[in-house]
Every structure is written in structure tokens, then in C-alpha cells.
Structure 1
Amino acid sequence: MSTRIVVVGGGTAGARLAQRLPVTLLGEEPHAPYNRVLLADVLAGRYEPEVIALPAPLEPVRRGVRAVRIDRAARTVECEDGTAVGYDRLVLATGSNPVLPPLRGLRGSRLPSGVHPFRTLDDCLELRALVRPGVRAVVIGGGLLGVSAARALAALGAEVVLTQQGERLMERQLDAHASELLREHVESLGVEVHTECRVSGLRQEGGAVTAVELADGFVLDAQVVVLACGVRPRIGLARDAGLKVRTGIVVDDELRTSDPFIHAIGDCAEHDGRVYGLAGPALEQADALAGVLHTQAAVPSVVGNRSAGARGVPPDGVWGRVGTTDGALAGASAPGGSVPTTTVPGSARPHYTGTRALTRLTLGGPVSLDLASFGEATPRPGDDVVQLTDATRRAYRKVVVRGDRLVGGVLLGDLAAVGALARAWEGDEALPPAPLLHLLTHDGGS
């Protein structure tokens, strides 16, 4: 008898697993699974929603179904519509929720008219319906998400102000020089950028936002406010079921929770003390879990077969777009990922050992800008740093070497060397005895 596998969550991780194994997929959103990486392009009007739909899973998705309770004793998932779904193995791929900052004018999860998070396809469609040329829009948050949202709103003709509480844009991924180049590019798109700027509250009139108040007393007029302050793992379902949770749902190398019949993958999962919150690790975790479940249960599988002709399995090019498409934002895994998912008889038992995530972003405009970062971009004492700057081409490359290992890097404007650098970093092997400058000038393909 086949094992009943139920997946809660139709995002990147859940959809990937459903393409590898026949599962019952419960998707809370009314839409078919889609590529969240391309939401900024939907907001900008470059793509219609159907363009970003993911390849169909092996079994139909149950859309618009919200799981509200797990009965571990009965092994059932209870849904908001009153139905219950039995399982032999349950996979939580519940993703994450946008962080709502503690601002005056925000009460609970109910947002004033004109105030939107930037997380789902519905968020994008609602924003796109609101924004027209000349609309005053304020984006709160200058990280990866906020920069992409600001670019998309500017493409729609909005008058955009981007506010960042930290010292620079994308400070988690970029060093000071790369961040300054990014700021220059964002401003060239017509976006007004404010860093070291804390938002304290929202002004409203008739239930609609009218302005954003800053901590220094300055007021920004706003008809639209986008909250891009990060995300938080959705762990409520797991916590209420008595599973072990910290920042995320704690899992082992088989993506197994504290209940041996329940697994977790994607943004909600915490592996080895780390929650990734990126597309690349979510995909690798789904692939690894497909291998684990296939070896432990009598289920048909397409794990390990990535040919374009395999039923339900996208060719490499489809998933390979994650984190590399113009305007996309993601943490695509570095080439040569470290997750063994082989299911050939006699092979090593599949497991997940972690992901080295490469962040890559393309910002459109009259002149597009590509950037990539990986590992530790800020050196420690004793590290070697090599960097090249081409002011004419607005290109910047920097790598950090610790001993004989490449530990991080930033590339902006010219990504020709990113493929070779990512492979060297992912392999975590001793660098060849060549001048360090060779790391930045060897364009091994991106």
C-alpha cells in the first residue's frame, strides 16, 4: 500500500516536492503554485500572473484550503472548511509571514487602506491596481525585498521614496562600496532613498493612509505604503501541535521534526540552527526530502530525473531561473549543491546537509544592474581581500579569502566571474597556488 503524504503549503518548497512525489498538496492561496521570485516583475507589469506559474505537480493541488490544526494521534490535518485529511507522513511547508513593524497607526493584522505587505501574488495585484503615474509611494525597508519593490513601483510611474533604518541598502548582502553603487542605481530610476531613517508611524484619514511619519519629525506624503521589513517563519500550526520550534520548526538531516511522522521544509524549517528564508535552500530541502521519503515508503518517484520529458519534472532551465531572472530576488543555491538525493539501490541514504546560498538580483531600468553576493562579504582580521573597481563600467568585484579558502564575495555590474567563484566557494576546497587576483579575472562562466 502506498504511503499517504500530505503537504501543507503550496509555495516554492511544497510545489517542488509535489513535482517529485504524488502527494496531497493543501495550498492556502487560491492561485496555482507560482514562482515567488518573480513577484516584483508582476508588480512592475512585466509579467502577468499566469507567466510565473510553476510546472504542474503530479497530483492536483487543493487550492484555497487553510490547515488549522494537526491531530498527531489520529494523524489528520483539520482544515478551516471543516474537512480532515489523513496522513501517514505530513510535510509542513507553511512558508513565512511578512513582518509588520511596530508603527503608530498599525493595529494587529488589519492594515489601513493603501498599506500593503509585499509577499504574495494577491499583494502584487492589489498594489498594481492602486499604483498609477504620479502616485506617492513609500517603501519601508531597504533590503532585498524593499529594493525590488521600489524598482517595480518606479517602473509603474509612481513617485517612490525608499526608507531604510540601517546605514545602507541591502546591508546583509553587500559591503559599503557595493551598497553605494546600488543606491546610485536605484536613485537613477527616480527613487528617493533615505538611509538611517526610522519610520515611527502612519497618518490616516477615513481609514486610508495619507503620510508616513519619521522618528526625526519629518513627514512623507503617501498614498501607498509597502511594508518590506522582512519575513518570519510560520510556525503556529507546528507550535500548536506540540512540535519543537525555535525561530523555525526544528528539523534534523532528514528534514524530520520532533514527531517522526512529520517533516518541515522551506522558509518555516530550521536546520542546524539556521532558517534560510530563500528559494534555493527551499528547493534543495524539497529534493532531499523527496529522496528520504522515496527510500522509506513505497511511493512512485521521479527524484533524480530532471530531464524535460519526465512527468511533472521541469527541465533544469525552469528552476534554474530562480534568483537569476531580471528583477528577481532570491537566494539561489550555488552551482553543484551539496544535497545528496540519489535513490539508486545501494546508494548512501539521502539527507540534507545545509545550503550555501548565493543571492542574486537584477534591477531593470534604462541601464540594468546585476549584483550577486555569497558567504562573508565583510573580512575578519587576518583575511585577504581582493577587489577590482571599474568606475567607467560601474562594475565592482570583491572576494574575501581566509587562509586558503574563499569565504565570500560581492559582484556588482559585471557577473562574468560569478560561476567560477560560486563553485570555488561551494566546494570549500583549498584554492590553487595562483595570485589571488586570478579569482576576479577568471571568468569561468556564470
Structure 2
Amino acid sequence: MTSQQRVVVIGGGLAGLRLAARLGPAARVRVLGEESHAPYNRVLLAEVLAGRYAPAVTALPDPGPVLRRGVRAVRVDRAERRVHCDDGSVETYDTLVLATGSNPVLPPLRGLFTPGGRELPDGVHAFRTMDDCLTLAAAVRPDLRAVVIGGGLLGVSAARALAARGAQVVLAQQAERLMERQLDADASALLHAHLNSLGVEIHTHCRVRGLTTTATATATATPAARPGHAARRVTGVELADGYRLDAGLVVLACGVRPRTGLARAAGLDVREGVVVDDRLRTGDPRVHAIGDCAEHAGRVYGLAGPALEQADALAAVLTGADATDGARGAGYTGTRALTRLTLSTPGTGPFDLAAFGEPTPLPGDDVVRLADATRRTYRKVVVRGDRLVGGVLLGELSTVGALARGWAGDEPLGDLFHLLTDDGGH
């Protein structure tokens, strides 16, 4: 890439802004950000909802004039190399980068939408954006019954944050345990007990069938309604066994799905995400994809760490910094991603969670567990030969840095017991 080439990035989140920063002020970069807010770190939204951080704490470095806020790309014309936006403007590109992120999954619940409509009832919220977070924070109040649907990473984060605000929280999880993709049964049981101690009522093996709502008159027009239309407010949640939970607030935390509509409409290869190679190229060599929307080697990560690594790798590709002795380097070869979640609240002491790699052992693997019920800590690692291949840690996590470095670097193990004890993390 030369300084005269124009790079257009669709998506003003962590990945898109990291790429723009890595390309530097000399590059001709334009970032199209759909949200009107100043750029923020989505990872910290649960802390804002919990009241621990002000929204300003989540701010990302100011990208300056390279970012156009509040503009949505609606069509990509690959033949003309143009991006058409919802305000009628057109951005031309030499290189296009899709960093469109992901959308929350809205489950097929009876009563979620009216026939032909796409407006959520009042009191029903996704939890993905700053607007979602601020709306939830304004709606929650002490003693309000809030039902969180979904017991994965997002649902656990939302339940803990709402409980910190004083709400009466019920978490409904369809699977047999919390965070079943990341945690083994023992770790999930400890997480369950910790959330219970915060006042969260948890139902596993619990499928939500629908919502109950009541009509409320409103005099405020919305984009989808006329003044005086009959709005709906949620009043409860219906479970598959017929039981009904009263609810003044419902949070949909059923996971996320890559945003691939633009790529699909432009004729690019889309499976779960936008398919890219080791140089983060789509089938069109002028179009790349990074972050939550990208699928590399059959995997969509959906985490901040891989998104940042992909942005860095693509910046190296576009600037030629990945060249080695005149030959192209390896580009992006994948990320060994670690999931980390802060679950502590004032007065409860440290209780954090980290999971990485393959926490479920294969035949022949060695498993080492250290559990301390008094200190509420649990540490389990899976060892294959002389390599650490996965682990789950809950409680006070001073050791997670040392373990994660050994796992991410695929290094031969030294003193495993030392790594698992508190001193191993210093």
C-alpha cells in the first residue's frame, strides 16, 4: 500500500480503529462508524451497567477526522470500488476493510415482535452497544424484577451488573450449566454459587417460550409508529413448562452473530462469518475483513483479543511490514484466545474468571486441579505431553498471566505447581 491509496474501513469499533491507528496519520484512511457515540471499548460495558465505571472510562483514543460517526454503509459496489452510505454520501476505495462486528441474537420468542413488526416491547433490551447499556442503566432500579435470558458470557455479565444495581435478577439458561462452552462442571458450579451469593436466582435446563406484554398508550412518535399508537410493555416471561415469571425488565443475552449482510450482498464468500485467508483477504483481493465479522480457518472468534491481533496483522500486510527478506511473511495465523471476566462486586472480594484453550481433556491428557473452598478458588489445567493446552481458573487470579503466557507461547512446561500457586503469577 502506498500513502496515496485510499483505505475505507466499515466499522468504528475496536478492530477498525486499531487498524486506522496502526496505518498511521500518513495513510489515507476513512472509518465509517454507525454509532454516534465517541468510540468506546465494548468490553467494559458491563462495568458501566454495574455502576462501577462512568461511560467516559470506556473511551478509546480519539481517531480524529479519519472517523465519520453516525453514518451507516448500506451497499458495497465492488466493480466501481465504492461504498454507499445511508446519508447519500459515497466513499471510494482502493482497499476496503469490513470490520462490521456482530449483532445480538434475538431468540424466536412468542410475543417478542408483533406480526410484521420489528420493535421490541418496552422493557426488553439487547445488551451489545453503549445505547443498550445506557438505556438499561436508566431503566433498572432497586427491587425491579429483571430476567436475563442466556447463561453464557454475556448473560452472566449482565446478571452480575444488574444485581449490583439492586435489581432482583433471574437468569434463565437453556443448557445444563452456566457458560458451558468455557467452563467444566466444577467451575460452573462455583460460578453458580457466586452469582447466588449476589442475589441472582438461576434456572438451568430452562427454556423460555415467550413474553407477556400489555398495551400502553404513548404520545411519542417512533420511527416505526405514529403519535398515539399502542405501545407494548413487557410484564413477564413464559417458560416452556408453563411457569410464568413476572418481569419489569428482560435482557436478551443469547449470544451474537457476525454482521455479514453487506458482504453477502456484495457477493463475497460468507459462511458463519466473512471468509478470509491468512492475509485477511476475502475472495476479492481489494476487500479484507477483521474482527467479529471475519471467519479465518473456519473460526469466528468474537473476542477483543483476536480482533486486535487481526487489525495489527492486516496493518502489517497493507504497509508491507510483514515482508521478510523480500518474501511475504506468514500474515495472520490465528489467535490463542483467552476469555476473562471480572465478577467481583464491592464487598464480595476478588472473584474473577479466566478460560483458555481446551479445558476438556482428551484420552492420555493429564489434568491438574487445585481447589480451595475457603478462598473460593478453582484452578484446573490440561497438559498434553509437555505442553499446556487449556485451563479454567476462578477466584483470585494472580496466576493467570503466567499460565496464559505459557499457553499462548506453546512453550514446554516448567514447574506446573509453581505456576498454579499464587507466587507463580508474580
SS in 2 for 1:134: coil
Give the stretch that moved more between structures: 407-416 or 89-98.
407-416
In structure 2, what is the equivalent of residue 324 of structure 1? none
In structure 2, what is the equivalent of residue 359 of structure 1? 339
TM-score, with structure 1 as normaliser: 0.86
Deviation per CA, 1:318-359, whole angstroms, max 9, x where unpaired? xxxxxxxxxxxxxxxxxxxxxxx6678868636101000011
Equivalent positions of 1:192-231 (< 5 A) are 192-206=201-215, 207-231=232-256
Amino acid aligned to 1:220 = L
Do structure 1's residue 243 and structure 2's residue 268 form an aligned pair?
yes
Do structure 1's residue 389 and structure 2's residue 371 form an aligned pair?
yes
The 1-side partners of 2:327 and 2:163 are apart by 52
The 1-side partners of 2:165 and 2:322 are apart by 46
RMSD: 1.7
Amino acid aligned to 2:260 = I
Deviation per CA, 1:365-403, whole angstroms, max 9, x where unpaired? 221311111011111222111101111101111111122
In structure 2, what is the equivalent of residue 3 of structure 1? 5
SS in 2 for 1:372: strand
SS in 1 for 2:111: coil
The 2-side partners of 1:49 and 1:345 are apart by 46
The 2-side partners of 1:347 and 1:439 are apart by 39
Give the stretch that moved more between structures: 167-176 or 241-250.
167-176
SS in 1 for 2:425: coil
Q: Is the 8 A contact 2:50 2:165 kept in 1?
A: yes
Query: How far off its partner does 1:163 sit?
Result: 0.8
SS in 1 for 2:71: coil
Q: Is the 8 A contact 1:18 1:58 kept in 2?
A: no
The 2-side partners of 1:344 and 1:55 are apart by 31
Q: 1:182 to 1:257 in 2, by over 3 A?
A: same
Give the stretch that moved more between structures: 84-93 or 44-53.
44-53
Amino acid aligned to 2:46 = A
The 2-side partners of 1:443 and 1:377 are apart by 23
SS in 1 for 2:45: helix
Q: Is the 8 A contact 1:420 1:442 kept in 2?
A: no
SS in 2 for 1:203: strand
The 1-side partners of 2:208 and 2:314 are apart by 41
Q: Is the 8 A contact 2:10 2:97 kept in 1?
A: yes
Do structure 1's residue 133 and structure 2's residue 113 form an aligned pair?
no
Do structure 1's residue 149 and structure 2's residue 161 form an aligned pair?
no
Equivalent positions of 1:40-439 (< 5 A) are 40-57=46-63, 59-107=65-113, 109-206=118-215, 207-295=232-320, 349=329, 351-365=331-345, 366-367=347-348, 368-432=350-414, 436-439=416-419
Query: How far off its partner does 1:47 sit?
Result: 1.9
SS in 2 for 1:196: coil
Give the stretch that moved more between structures: 126-135 or 419-428.
419-428
Amino acid aligned to 1:280 = G
SS in 2 for 1:281: helix
Q: Is the 8 A contact 2:418 2:424 kept in 1?
A: no
The 2-side partners of 1:178 and 1:358 are apart by 16
The 2-side partners of 1:291 and 1:391 are apart by 47
The 1-side partners of 2:423 and 2:182 are apart by 22
Q: Is the 8 A contact 2:322 2:331 kept in 1?
A: no
SS in 1 for 2:166: coil
The 2-side partners of 1:443 and 1:267 are apart by 35
Q: Is the 8 A contact 1:292 1:350 kept in 2?
A: no
Q: Tell me the percent identity.
A: 72
Q: Is the 8 A contact 2:382 2:391 kept in 1?
A: yes
Query: How far off its partner does 1:283 sit?
Result: 0.4
Q: Is the 8 A contact 1:18 1:59 kept in 2?
A: no
Q: Is the 8 A contact 2:419 2:425 kept in 1?
A: no
Q: 1:350 to 1:58 in 2, by over 3 A?
A: farther
Give the stretch that moved more between structures: 419-428 or 82-91.
419-428
Q: 1:216 to 1:380 in 2, by over 3 A?
A: same
The 1-side partners of 2:261 and 2:423 are apart by 46
Amino acid aligned to 2:49 = L
In structure 2, what is the equivalent of residue 440 of structure 1? 420
Amino acid aligned to 2:338 = L
The 2-side partners of 1:343 and 1:402 are apart by 34
Q: Is the 8 A contact 1:136 1:159 kept in 2?
A: yes
Query: How far off its partner does 1:33 sit?
Result: 1.3
SS in 1 for 2:292: helix
TM-score, with structure 2 as normaliser: 0.90
In structure 1, what is the equivalent of residue 221 of structure 2? none
Q: Is the 8 A contact 1:95 1:234 kept in 2?
A: yes
In structure 2, what is the equivalent of residue 14 of structure 1? 16
Deviation per CA, 1:228-252, whole angstroms, max 9, x where unpaired? 0000000000000000110000001
In structure 2, what is the equivalent of residue 333 of structure 1? none
SS in 2 for 1:128: helix
Q: Work out the number of aligned pairs and report it.
A: 399
Q: Is the 8 A contact 2:151 2:179 kept in 1?
A: yes
The 2-side partners of 1:351 and 1:151 are apart by 39
Amino acid aligned to 1:4 = R
Give the stretch that moved more between structures: 38-47 or 5-14.
38-47
In structure 1, what is the equivalent of residue 223 of structure 2? none
